[in-house]
Each structure stands twice: as structure tokens, then as C-alpha cells.
């Protein structure tokens, strides 16, 4: 059996939402380095306005993603994306982490077939992007009120965390790919490659 034979398929809608959200987040994070807060009384620059309205649209996109997660069938369940409130789910994440580390140490293809760890990491990223979009959107609608400044500080901090998450997430995906996983073909419209059979799990 190939490494990806039993992996649950990703629907076209899941792939579309994943790719669209990725592009929007990357655009917003990069674009934030080229915008400046307008001086009170001055009209905001076009790039700043674009950042604001794309952020609001991003919140809608994330909401659609969460809705799809809750109603879809045959893909990663909500409980695996958000395992933090279940002891059994957290034990599964810990066990999967140990397995992943053993596989990487032995240079074996990571066993990432919808594993508990991968699902939790994806859910963590989705939660992070959700809170970042919420703080930015609420800031937009509360500008000029006492809550606006704390929201802006939180939004900027979450943006830094989002950069760290994206870099780590992309780095791990590349490692999985180099070790034999067909991870990119599962999440994007990329042609599957031949994957070598999975060797027996290393024993201690």
C-alpha cells in the first residue's frame, strides 16, 4: 500500500478555501509592511484602505471555512481541528507527535494521513487567523473609541505570530515532501507523484 492510499480525499471546496485563505493572509501580512496609519484628519492611503477591506472580507472567508468544516463529510472533523478540550484527543495528539518524531529521526516518510497532530496544527492556524481577522475588523468599526488602541496592539501581535506559524507550517510541509509525503498534491491541485511504500514503524 502506498503512503497516501488511505488518506481521506480533500474536496475541491476545501482546497479552494485553503488556497484562497493562504493567499489572502500572505497578502495582508506582506502588505502590512508598506502601509502607515493615517494622521488624524488625513485621508487614508489606497493601500491602507485595501488592507482594511480585504481584512473584513478575510473574516467572511474564515467564517465560511468554519461553516464548511462543521457540515462537510468524509474530511477532517471539527473535534480533530480543535482537540484542546478533550483528554482523549490531546493524548492522540501527543502519541502522534511521538510517532512523527521517530519517523523523521529515521528519515522515513512521515505518517501524516490525517493524523491528530497535523489536524491540531491546522486548527491552531485557523484559530490564529480567525482572531487576527476579528481584532482587525472590530478595530475598523471602533476606531476613535477607547477599545481601538488595545485591539490594534493585539492585531499587530497576532500578525507576528501568524508570520511565525506560516514559516513553521511551510517548513514542515517541505520536510514532509522531501521525506516522501505527497502532501502538496493532497492540499492543492498538484499532480500526485509516486510515493515509496511506508516502511514498518521503527521500534525502540
Widest pairwise Cα distance in the chain: 67
The answer to the question of residue 22 being in a domain is yes
Exposed/middle/buried for 139, CB within 10 Å: 0-12, 13-18, 19+? buried
Q: Grid coordinates representing 96?
A: 502522534
**Integer Rg of the chain from CA:** 20
> What distance in Å separates the CA atoms of residue 20 and residue 187, rounded to the nearest whole number?
12
Q: 188-203 pLDDT, tens per residue?
A: 777 776 545 545 554 4
DSSP 8-state code for residue 144? T
> What distance in Å separates the CA atoms of residue 86 and residue 92, rounded to the nearest whole number?
10
Domain residues for 42? Answer: 12-76+87-187
> What distance in Å separates the CA atoms of residue 48 and residue 35, rounded to the nearest whole number?
6
Q: 53-103 pLDDT, tens per residue?
A: 999 999 999 999 999 999 998 888 899 999 999 999 999 999 988 987 887
pTM: 0.82
The answer to the question of residue 55 being in a domain is yes
> What distance in Å separates the CA atoms of residue 60 and residue 120, rounded to the nearest whole number?
22
| pLDDT (0 to 100) of residue 7 | 54
> What distance in Å separates the CA atoms of residue 140 and residue 134, rounded to the nearest whole number?
10
The answer to the question of residue 82 being in a domain is no
Q: Is the pLDDT of residue 149 over 70?
A: yes
| pLDDT (0 to 100) of residue 5 | 39
The answer to the question of residue 202 being in a domain is no
| pLDDT (0 to 100) of residue 86 | 92
> What distance in Å separates the CA atoms of residue 41 and residue 99, rounded to the nearest whole number?
57
Q: 184 vs 74, which has greater pLDDT?
A: 74
| pLDDT (0 to 100) of residue 161 | 96
| pLDDT (0 to 100) of residue 169 | 86
Q: Is the pLDDT of residue 110 over 80?
A: no
Percent of residues in the chain assigned helix, strand, coil, to nearest 5: 65, 0, 35
Could you identify the residue written with the cell 500578525? Answer: 159
Q: 38-57 pLDDT, tens per residue?
A: 887 788 899 999 999 999 99
The answer to the question of residue 183 being in a domain is yes
Residues 6+ apart with CB under 8 A from 13: 68, 72
The answer to the question of residue 192 being in a domain is no
The answer to the question of residue 196 being in a domain is no
| Structural domain count of the chain | 1
> Residue range 133-154: average pLDDT?
95
Note the helical H segments in the chain: 12-31, 46-71, 78-81, 87-105, 116-142, 148-178, 183-187
Residue 73: helix, strand or coil by DSSP? Answer: coil
Mean pLDDT of the chain, nearest integer: 84
Q: Grid coordinates representing 139?
A: 478595530
Q: pLDDT band for position 3 (50/70/90)? A: very low
CATH number at residue 53: 1.20.950
The answer to the question of residue 49 being in a domain is yes
Amino acid at each position: 500500500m502506498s503512503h497516501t492510499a488511505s488518506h481521506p480525499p480533500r474536496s475541491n471546496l476545501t482546497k479552494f478555501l485553503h488556497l484562497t485563505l493562504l493567499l489572502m493572509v500572505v497578502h495582508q501580512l506582506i502588505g502590512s509592511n508598506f502601509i502607515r496609519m493615517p494622521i488624524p484628519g488625513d485621508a487614508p492611503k489606497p493601500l491602507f484602505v485595501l488592507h482594511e477591506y480585504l481584512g473584513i472580507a478575510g473574516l467572511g472567508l474564515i467564517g465560511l471555512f468554519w461553516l464548511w468544516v462543521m457540515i462537510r463529510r468524509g474530511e477532517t472533523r471539527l473535534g480533530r481541528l480543535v482537540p484542546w478540550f478533550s483528554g482523549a484527543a490531546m493524548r492522540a495528539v501527543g502519541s502522534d507527535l511521538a510517532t512523527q518524531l521517530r519517523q523523521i529521526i529515521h528519515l522515513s516518510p512521515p505518517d501524516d494521513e490525517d493524523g491528530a497532530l497535523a489536524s491540531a496544527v491546522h486548527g491552531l492556524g485557523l484559530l490564529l487567523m480567525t482572531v487576527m481577522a476579528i481584532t482587525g475588523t472590530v478595530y475598523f468599526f471602533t476606531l476613535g473609541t477607547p477599545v481601538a488602541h488595545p485591539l490594534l496592539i493585539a492585531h499587530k501581535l497576532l500578525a507576528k505570530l501568524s508570520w511565525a506559524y506560516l514559516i513553521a507550517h511551510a517548513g514542515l510541509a517541505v520536510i514532509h515532501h522531501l521525506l516522501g509525503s505527497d502532501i502538496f498534491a493532497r492540499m492543492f491541485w498538484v499532480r500526485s507523484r509516486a510515493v515509496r511504500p511506508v516502511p514498518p514503524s521503527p521500534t525502540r
